A and B are shown apart, each in its own frame.
Chain A
Amino acid sequence: MNNKIINWFKFASPQSFYPLAGRMIPWFWALTAIFTVAGLWISFFVAPTDAQQGEGYRIIFIHVPASWMSMFIYLVLAFWAGLGLALNTRLSGMMAQALAPTGALMAFLSLWTGAFWGKPMWGTWWVWDARLTSELILFFLYIGFIALQAAIDDPRRADKAGAILALVGAVNIPIIYFSVKWWNTLHQGSSVNLAKSSMAQTMLWGMLLMALAFWMYAIAVALTRARAIILERERHTEWIKEVVR
């Protein structure tokens, strides 16, 4: 038991995490490629044309995974941020910093594809609907996090300040979501429900595969970015000199 705890903390040190991440990254890229190919194949060639929405509905194979990831990454970010504040580990802050741009990208992608979907389906690029608005605000929260971290020179202070912001944001997200929801809503109900799905099986599979592909991509990119951050921040140490040489 004791050994296990020590093992967990072993990889909390950038020095031992760096090679581990380096070994893991190619695997996650490979999985990304496999899931993307499989997911895209199902979503373009296998999944049937939707009865009401025609071919345009295929945007959801990108849109829904991107929306899921944008929300989930914020939670992971807040988790790392909280861990960093509680245990004062350096790696947690680096992970939070590494995740933020991917999360912002996902939020942006979700809004962008949502607009493309909304034009043929609702006849408008944008409506002030609850989910769209909270996604937009989530995007602002990501941007705020990135901007705050970029504005503080001392990386340790940037980590901690960013962590507090991430936690405040995480507390606020449900409040924002419900306030916007009661304010106005017309978004179609969530179409994925594990118990009783309103989608065709193949559509669901395509979407889940694409979601897995997005997961793997996010992990691979975050790890790569974390490695870059480690290199930058630990550049004064001996072991980095060993690695780079």
Chain B
Amino acid sequence: MSDEREAPNRLPAGGSIDRDRPLSFTFDGKSYSGYAGDTLASALLANGVVLMGRSFKYHRPRGLIAAGSEEPNALMQLEKGDRTEPNTRATCIELYSGLSATSQNRWPSLSFDIGAVNSLVSRFIPAGFYYKTFMWPASMWLTYEKFIRKAAGLGVSPTAPDPDRYENTHAHCEVLVVGAGPAGIAAAAAAAASGARVLLIDEQNEAGGSLLASATGEQEPVRAWIADAVEQLQSNPDVTILKRTTVTGYFDYNYLTALEKVTDHLPPGSDPVAPRQRFWKIRARQVVIAAGAIERPLVFADNDRPGVMLANAVNTYINRYAVLPGRNIVVFTNNDSAYRTALNAANKGAEVVVVDTRREVDNTLVESLKNAGIKHFPGHAIVSVQGKLAVGAVRIMPLSEDGKTVQGQAWELSCDCIANSGGWTPSVHLFSQSGGKLAYRDGIAAFVPDAATVRSVNPCFSAGACNGTFSTTDCLSEGATAGRAAAIAAGFPGSDVQLPASDPASDDRGQGDIHPLWLVPTVHPVGEGAAKHFHDFQNDVTAADIHLAAREGYLSVEHLKRYTTTGMATDQGKTSNLNALAIMADIRGAQIPEVGTTTFRPPYTPVTLGAIAGQETGELFLQVRQTPMHRWHVEHNAVFEDVGDWKRPRYYPLGVEDMHAAVQRECAAVRDRVGILDASTLGKIDIQGEDAAEFLEMIYTNGWKKLAVGGCRYGLMLNEHGMIFDDGVTSRLGEHHFHMTTTTGGAARVLNWLEEWLQTEWPQMNVYCTSVTEQWAVAAINGPRARELLSTLTDIDLSTEAFPFMTTSEGQVAGVPARIYRISFTGELSYEINVPARYGRYLWDTLIEAGKAFDLCPYGTESMHVLRAEKGFIIVGQDTDGTVTPHDVDMSWIVSDKKDDFLGKRSLSRLDTARDGRPQLVGLLTEDPAFVLPEGAHIVSQVLDKPPMPTIGHVTSSYLSPNLGRSIALALLQNGKNRKGDTVQVQLMDGTVINAQVSSTVFVDEKGERARG
């Protein structure tokens, strides 16, 4: 690289870049070179690239204004293809080899952008333009929207899935310190010294905060102290330091979130293992916010021209990145802090002029300018900026006493950079998010945290510049005090730290005696003339827009924000908010605190959605539950269905079979021979205690006290509204011992239901419920040959006399302890064999092997649904929907009229629940036996030309029944009980109407003899 020409703005020495590690990158297809330690912004600036983007609304040319995460203009489309990311701030992208960035919001090119015509017609797109123009007619909005989206878009989203991986994790600490500048390091050091667990987080790739922008030789004792303190913190096992990490939100009970950019500083995909980003969910006992301050621009005519930068950003580029942004720099300020920039720039060889809106300036500053040969214009203001795509010159004029007008001799100063400072805005975002209130401090012309308003659930301290404390010496001591206090509040003894001696000569005294000038006047009143005074660069909002909003009555700061969109861009108004509300205060003749601030909302900086999802993507997106037989199902080609969180085999296709063919085959096998179903997913609850029967009497609609030991009974549970809530078979294993089964999806809900009643309403009952769902693996064998099959594997007497329908028996099956329930969900002879889950796979394999002699057929949930529908057995949640009573599903037989009370009983006699004509479950037989009604199709009372037609019910279950050779359906139909035999019309999506006859819900073996046989 040594023979290559150095980038034009790169200084020959200095900065914290690594000149031995040159890196090449491209911007808009053109190749450039920078160094390790550069950001994309500093590398472009070093190469003389000033124009970096086009503005959002007017497509005006824009360049960098900042060096940190507050940058509103230099938004880049980073990388290409599936890794492309829009709206990344060039100031936050650490340069890596091969980086590829493109500018946004321009066509066909950055220097010639057709959209810039918007700037010429800007008088016709004022604030509120969209609201006013596209309001009427409402029907046209969809058309307008497409146009607006296209015209107003910034970057473009990737269309392919994100190939990167992300992690999401929790952290806990006694003291969280946000910011690793002087205040934050001092706070962390003090807290750590007392033994507290400390988490120190900083956005940059190295500690130092504001000192990272200081020149070599400046504040050496403090920098040495910080280096030493960081080293000590790093070696402390109770301290965690996260660099490249931004605290993005402050939520209740000291819950904060942060985004760590783990590998974003490396070429994409180059680290095969580490996540790209990590999202932290932090619970802190105490928080010290040391987030610093953000410099705000002065609002002057055409202050958005590329080359107009914040003064401290210019300082940062010079000192940290060894980039001199201009050869002729005009420093324009209303406070002291920009003088450091002036002196630094002059020291590096730039021609510098200082224009200060103040008439009186501290004499030592004036002297230091004089010594450096820098021209000084106190009491002056920039009234215009020359140059199209970059700054070429400025005109300055003397300000009137009150700063409202300019008058007198104008000077033109040619320059290629304007370093401006309107003062410093403390970063109160996190404090405000925590619920604390802000107080306006006149002396620094900014809002600061009001420590008296800290919420008790969000204990925190603010220290340093974010607290309005700007001198480095004061930041250190305030940080140490806050760190100590936080540790004490977290229950640790307080510890002091030795701070470096203050050095008055080089101490950064911040903005000094600031004289706010919120809007810099020109020869024209604001809004007249061609010039624009921008305060919000990213959303293209000007001082004239604020005036317009005020004229139209949008005086409240929240209205102002929404009407003009100020502060609503991706930078959340970090550089613009205070200027906007101060200008509004001026218009209203009000004090700034009266106008107030808008709400600070998380995230502080944009957060990648992938990082929030973290590892919980793909197979970890949702919890997945598997039975002990799961692998067998996978090995045997099962197609799975999600039931609750469970993976259940839906059907087992043979060869090229589709679901229809497989289900027809499986159903026929069960009715003709024998089939096997994995029923392990059914919810199972062990209920013990002397009041267990009494308890079940309250839980179920039917009676339980008389159930004999060894007996099984089907039960319906209602909620207190009288609506069906779950069902299942419960068996009596002992006098005080029951085994309840629930629906697969309802297991957790039912257990909670039982526990809630026992713990809150009936604590006197001696009943204990324990979930045993996974304790038992269950193979259900169904079909006329089930008994024969089972008898090959057990000595239990399976004769109907010894082991009748609806009873349970214990013994050995296939040599392992088993409990068999002779119950049936298919209407066939059926045994549900339960073994401890560790033997589940073995039992299944053994049954399959033994079943070969009987042509045993594994079947899935789809066939189970068909088989039970043929019998008219309901599925809770499919044939019921929370508005259905037992009477509605023709199950009045299960509602005891002997019991005084059970859950939901009283609701069954409520006026609406007991009325005639409610939707009731019926069977439907289509006129065309081959036609299968779609589930969800509506039964209509009147056939019209096209939908919608008045509905009187809907189909809940519908299948082609292999055993009947025709379609069957269940439906909820108004007054269905009295319509048996009627023909009804079912409307399909396309408006076709199908005739069907209302029938009984039981289609096969109405007497139920097969299951009992």
Do A and B assemble together?
no
> Using a CB–CB distance below 8 Å, which chain A residues touch chain B?
none
> Using a CB–CB distance below 8 Å, which chain B residues touch chain A?
none
